[in-house]
């Protein structure tokens, strides 16, 4: 059972998802606005946030950005449009995954459980690779003594790349290994997450030292 914070301004959608997620065994707290959700997170941290993109006032993307400034807790976006800028901008803001409306409760439940498994899978141990040290328990990375904070999804992606140094991992493989997805169109999840990790661990993200793009195929972890 997960402690879920649901942020959805449509009362009928919010109520329907609350009931469906409760039937799946989750504990759900819901709000209609981003402001209320941010206040809740400051006082009582949930295990995961389910966040509608089209919110009144502060939209879901901006809420996601503000969450990332204070916490690395998992975020799943709900979007009415699955193949446009909403998804890309949301992922770049730090979302871990997205679900397209109308939401099928079983699909959302599967995504929630997949994201939470990423948190559990990085819950212990440390990995050292040259100057790069990954503390999986604290969800932190240090590079040459400099501490960097990663989300569970970002850390899972980095760990997957670090486990295969010098190998090219294609997007389909990374989707399955990190997100439990098989749909090729979701490859933007991979690209957006790589961009976020590079922004945190590379001195010049446009000229990476660690995570290299192999055009038309995927990514390779090759430290200098």
**Joined tokens for residue 212:** 């290299």
Choose among 119, 128, 120: nearest CA to 154.
119
Percent of the chain with pLDDT over 90: 57
33 has pLDDT over 70: yes
Q: What is the pLDDT of residue 182?
A: 67
Q: What is the pLDDT of residue 95?
A: 92
Contact 131, 144 (CB under 8 A): yes
Enter the pTM of the model: 0.70
96 has pLDDT over 70: yes
Q: What is the pLDDT of residue 83?
A: 54
**pLDDT tens, residue by residue, 143-161:** 888 889 888 889 889 988 9
4 has pLDDT over 90: yes
Q: Report the distance separating Cα 47 and Cα 1, nearest Å.
A: 10
User: Is residue 9 helix, strand or coil?
Assistant: coil
**Joined tokens for residue 159:** 């760990």
Choose among 58, 57, 66, 64: nearest CA to 78.
64
Q: Which domains does the chain have, with CATH numbers?
A: 3-120 (3.40.50.2300), 123-221 (1.10.10.10)
The arrangement of strands across the sheet holding 168-170 comes to: 168-170, 218-221, 211-214
| Other residues' Cβ atoms within 10 Å of the Cβ of residue 52 | 24
**Helix H or strand E encompassing 165:** none
221 has pLDDT over 90: yes
60 has pLDDT over 90: yes
**pLDDT tens, residue by residue, 98-141:** 999 999 999 999 999 988 887 666 555 677 777 888 776 667 78
**Joined tokens for residue 208:** 């990476």
**pLDDT tens, residue by residue, 164-200:** 888 999 999 999 999 887 666 678 899 999 999 999 9
Determine how β-strand 27-31 pairs with β-strand 97-100: unpaired
Residues sharing a CB contact under 8 Å with residue 12, sequence separation 6 or more, in sequence order: none
Instruction: Give the angle subtended at the CA of 3 by the CAs of 49 and 48, to the nearest 5°.
Output: 25
- φ/ψ of 168, rounded to 5, equals -90, 125
**pLDDT tens, residue by residue, 198-215:** 999 988 999 998 999 999
The larger pLDDT score, comparing residue 27 to residue 144, is at 27
Contact 153, 117 (CB under 8 A): no
Is residue 67 very low, low, confident or very high in pLDDT (cuts 50, 70, 90)?
A: very high
Q: What is the pLDDT of residue 110?
A: 92
Q: Tell me which DSSP letter residue 100 carries.
A: E
Contact 88, 24 (CB under 8 A): no
Q: What is the pLDDT of residue 27?
A: 94
Is residue 20 very low, low, confident or very high in pLDDT (cuts 50, 70, 90)?
A: very high
| Other residues' Cβ atoms within 10 Å of the Cβ of residue 39 | 12
Give the gyration radius of the chain's Cα atoms: 17
Is residue 8 very low, low, confident or very high in pLDDT (cuts 50, 70, 90)?
A: very high
């Amino acid at each position: 059972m997960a402690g879920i914070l649901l942020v959805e301004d449509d009362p009928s959608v919010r109520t329907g998802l609350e009931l469906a997620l409760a039937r799946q065994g989750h504990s759900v707290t819901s709000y209609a606005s981003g402001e209320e959700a941010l206040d809740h997170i400051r006082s009582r941290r949930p295990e995961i946030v389910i966040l509608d993109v089209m919110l009144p006032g502060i939209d879901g993307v901006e809420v996601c950005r503000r969450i990332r400034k204070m916490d690395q807790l998992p975020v799943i976006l709900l979007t009415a449009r699955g193949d446009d800028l909403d998804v890309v901008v949301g992922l770049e803001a730090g979302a871990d995954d997205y679900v397209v409306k109308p939401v099928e409760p079983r699909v959302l439940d599967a995504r929630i459980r997949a994201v939470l498994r990423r948190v559990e899978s990085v819950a212990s141990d440390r990995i050292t690779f040259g100057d790069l040290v990954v503390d999986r328990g604290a969800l932190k990375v240090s590079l040459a003594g400099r501490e960097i904070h990663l989300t569970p999804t970002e850390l899972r992606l980095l760990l997957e790349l670090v486990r295969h140094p010098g190998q090219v991992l294609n997007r389909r493989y990374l989707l399955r290994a990190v997100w439990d997805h098989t749909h090729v169109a979701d490859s933007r999840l991979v690209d957006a997450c790589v961009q976020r990790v590079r922004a945190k661990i590379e001195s010049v993200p446009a000229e990476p030292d660690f995570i290299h793009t192999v055009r038309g195929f995927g990514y390779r972890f090759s430290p200098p």
